[in-house]
Amino acid sequence: MPIFHHLRQLQECAKHHSSVKQLHAHFIKLGLTQFLPLANTLSNVYAKSSRLQEALQVFDEMPHRDHVSWATILTALNQANFPNKTLSVFPSMFSLDSLLPDDFVFASLVKACANLGAIKQGKQVHANYLVSLFFDDDVIKSSLVDMYAKCGLPDDGRAVFNSIKLKNMASWTAIINGYARKGRKKEALELFLRVPQKNLFAWTALISGLVQSGNEVDAFGLFIEMRREGISIIDPLVLSSIVGASANIAMLELGKQVHGLTIGLGYESCLFISNALVDMYAKCSDIVAAKDVFCRMSRRDVVSWTSIIVGAAQHGRAEEALSLYDEMVSNGVKPNEVTFVGLIYACSHVGLVDKGRELFKSMVEHYGIRPCLQHYTCLLDLLGRSGYLDEAEDVINSMPFKPDEPTWAALLSACKHHGNAKMAIRIANHLLSLKPEEPSTYILLSNIYSSSSLWEHASKARHLLEGMEVKKEPGYSYIDFGRESQVFYAGEASNHMKDETFGLLKELDVEMRRRGYVPDTSCVLHNMEQQEKERQLFWHSERLAVAYGLLKSVPGTVIRIVKNLRVCGDCHTVLKLISDIVKREIVVRDAKRYHHFKDGKCSCNDFW
């Protein structure tokens, strides 16, 4: 049975990553590629060793193709992360080869829709599946559960789940994850309690879903419970979720502990764990540690490079981001759409307009990436920051997308910075038509009117603002020392160090005013006396957190603060001054970006 021998040879190849090419050549010589199962296996082996090009070539050159050929190639496209290709290639199955989808092909199509979040096409596939011969197939059903879960429709997933006769772990994990990632904790937990086998998969589905829905604290609690239950972590996937959770809540000390755990379990060098660690350190504002993990990696993919590039850019290290990009390209790693978001952002930060334009062009022409709205927003931000306001507005008008709120906000911020009141008013109105209840837009508008001496308009904007029920999220900041962490809300310092905190801020205030500091009260919402406004600013949460940090941290160390809202202009000035007075580096992660305050300067170059 030479054919079976060859099939086995190929499978061995796949297992040991040895050269498929030689066997392939051998088969061609013997004319064996005419034998369909052998050609299919060949294509599959190429795909499994991430050689999509070769897999596609074998597929294209097959004189006859069957269902297996199609299932193999559609699966290969999914695995290479080209789900849109899966969907676009599939119609040829009928038009070229007159074949209808079988159960394997249905599963691939559903998976492609799931990964794309393409619910419309997913429902079409679902409908076709229902009228097919395979309408009762449990494997396809569990894929459908996963698809609805990933598309954010866990209830639709539940309906399919209920119809599965033999529910195995795949269907259970899909539905649990579906509820968890929507933040529907009650349903997720109820189902989790009913899983016949509470193994690592089940825990991972629950924990990762909770991280995705912003329930990091619950996720940590469950992770600890899982460890207590003695579930051994034989697969690192759950760790990437936990590292991601540390990144999301930006608790550096916690992140370090999780890092230690990944080392202890022997997964630090696993590619996607190191990638998650690089991102975690960057998000926890320790860009030095992020770079350190990155440098120690033995293998780096596009995600690794992009994580460090984006991290460097966000921390104001634009030149470093750009040189990392050069290094990435010379290492033969192809950038993707996310990489360019980071790169253009970096250019924008230091006003490298031409470099940014060049990168945008190279993305389209050299890498064939179709820019999305976010790229246009970055480009416009780049132009706007450097004062090319008209050109920035041209981008908005000529791009193939409808501008969203961040797009208008980027342009508005540029108008404000360059003092173009006329354009600012026009843009603010666009913004208000998208998000009418946004108080900060009114404040900005009012300030612009005031600065252009349009007093009537200014008071009208203020009036509108007061009439609005301002549901402004309360601002808070927190500081984490590992052993303890403290949360500060504006206007209150209810911890035991209250007097010391206040005393220190008062002391610093005296020194700041000696250096010429004048409070900028333009961001204070309500109409009140100047003194009252200044008092409000004095109690902003980030200042409380910094003062507390100065009192409690080890002298000479970096003070790291996380704030839920954006830092106001006055606090920004104050933090710069404080960093100079006390000769300490202060890093603030706010809702939008990172500020490294050092020697009286900020890494954001006062533009944020």
Partner DNA sequence: CTAGGGTTAG
146 in contact with DNA (CB under 7 A): yes
What are φ and ψ of residue 562, in 5° steps?
A: -115, 130
Site for DNA in 560-599 (CB under 7 A): none
CB closer to DNA out of 189 and 338:
338
Site for DNA in 41-80 (CB under 7 A): 41, 44, 66-69, 71-72, 75, 78
DSSP conformation letters of 1-27: -HHHHHHHHHHHHHHHT--HHHHHHHH
CB of 164 to DNA, least distance (A): 7
Q: From 319, 266, 271, 338, select the one nearest 298 (Cα to Cα).
A: 271
CB of 60 to DNA, least distance (A): 16
What are φ and ψ of residue 494, in 5° steps?
A: -90, 15
Token pair, residue 194, equals: 């009913």
CB closer to DNA out of 241 and 486:
241
CB of 83 to DNA, least distance (A): 11
CB closer to DNA out of 103 and 580:
103
Site for DNA in 84-143 (CB under 7 A): 102-104, 107-108, 111, 114, 137-140, 142-143
Q: Is the dihedral of CA 326, 331, 337, 338 positive or negative?
A: negative
379 in contact with DNA (CB under 7 A): no
40 in contact with DNA (CB under 7 A): yes
7 in contact with DNA (CB under 7 A): yes
Q: From 170, 204, 210, select the one nearest 187 (Cα to Cα).
A: 210
CB closer to DNA out of 277 and 550:
277
**Judged by CB under 7 A, which of 170, 231, 525, 582 binds DNA?**
170
CB closer to DNA out of 209 and 549:
209
Token pair, residue 482, equals: 């590992």
Report which residue type is found at 316.
Answer: G
Q: From 125, 73, 122, select the one nearest 96 (Cα to Cα).
A: 73
CB of 531 to DNA, least distance (A): 40
How far does Cα 235 stand from its chain's mean position?
A: 23
What are φ and ψ of residue 560, in 5° steps?
A: -115, 125
CB of 192 to DNA, least distance (A): 12
275 in contact with DNA (CB under 7 A): yes
With contact defined as beta carbons under 8 Å apart, do 276 and 243 qualify?
yes
With contact defined as beta carbons under 8 Å apart, do 587 and 559 qualify?
yes
> Helix, strand or coil for residue 486?
strand
CB closer to DNA out of 81 and 124:
81
* N-term to C-term CA, the chain: 71
Site for DNA in 342-371 (CB under 7 A): 342, 345
With contact defined as beta carbons under 8 Å apart, do 389 and 424 qualify?
no
Token pair, residue 492, equals: 């209150």
For residue 441, the tally of other CB atoms under 10 A from its CB is 23
CB of 256 to DNA, least distance (A): 17
**Judged by CB under 7 A, which of 237, 265, 432, 443 binds DNA?**
237
**Per-residue string for binding with DNA, 288-317, x by CB under 7 A?**
--------------xx--xx--x-------
> Helix, strand or coil for residue 437?
coil
For residue 453, the tally of other CB atoms under 10 A from its CB is 9
CB of 485 to DNA, least distance (A): 22
CB closer to DNA out of 237 and 581:
237
Token pair, residue 72, equals: 């193999």
**Judged by CB under 7 A, which of 205, 250, 395, 565 binds DNA?**
205
**221-229, 335-343, 354-362, 446-454 -> range binding DNA (CB under 7 A):** 335-343
With contact defined as beta carbons under 8 Å apart, do 72 and 89 qualify?
no
CB of 481 to DNA, least distance (A): 25
CB closer to DNA out of 200 and 468:
200
**Judged by CB under 7 A, which of 283, 543, 563, 595 binds DNA?**
283
CB closer to DNA out of 329 and 470:
329
Q: What CA–CA distance (Å, rounded) separates 186 from 197?
A: 19
CB closer to DNA out of 509 and 590:
590
**25-33, 206-214, 292-300, 533-541 -> range binding DNA (CB under 7 A):** 206-214
CB closer to DNA out of 149 and 359:
149
**Do the bridges between strand 586-589 and strand 559-563 make them parallel or antiparallel, or are there none, so unpaired?**
parallel
CB of 443 to DNA, least distance (A): 26
215 in contact with DNA (CB under 7 A): no
Report which residue type is found at 554.
Answer: V
Beta strands across the sheet bearing 601-602: 485-489, 476-480, 559-563, 586-589, 594-598, 601-602
Residues 6+ apart with CB under 8 A from 183: 210, 213, 214, 215
Kindly determine how many residues on this chain lie close enough to bind DNA according to the rule CB under 7 A: 76
CB closer to DNA out of 200 and 497:
200
CB of 500 to DNA, least distance (A): 36
With contact defined as beta carbons under 8 Å apart, do 250 and 589 qualify?
yes
Tracing tokens 């912003």 back to the chain, one arrives at 214
**Judged by CB under 7 A, which of 215, 240, 246, 446 binds DNA?**
240
**34-42, 287-295, 411-419, 565-573 -> range binding DNA (CB under 7 A):** 34-42
CB of 143 to DNA, least distance (A): 4
Q: What CA–CA distance (Å, rounded) separates 380 from 378?
A: 5
200 in contact with DNA (CB under 7 A): yes
Site for DNA in 445-464 (CB under 7 A): none
CB of 303 to DNA, least distance (A): 4
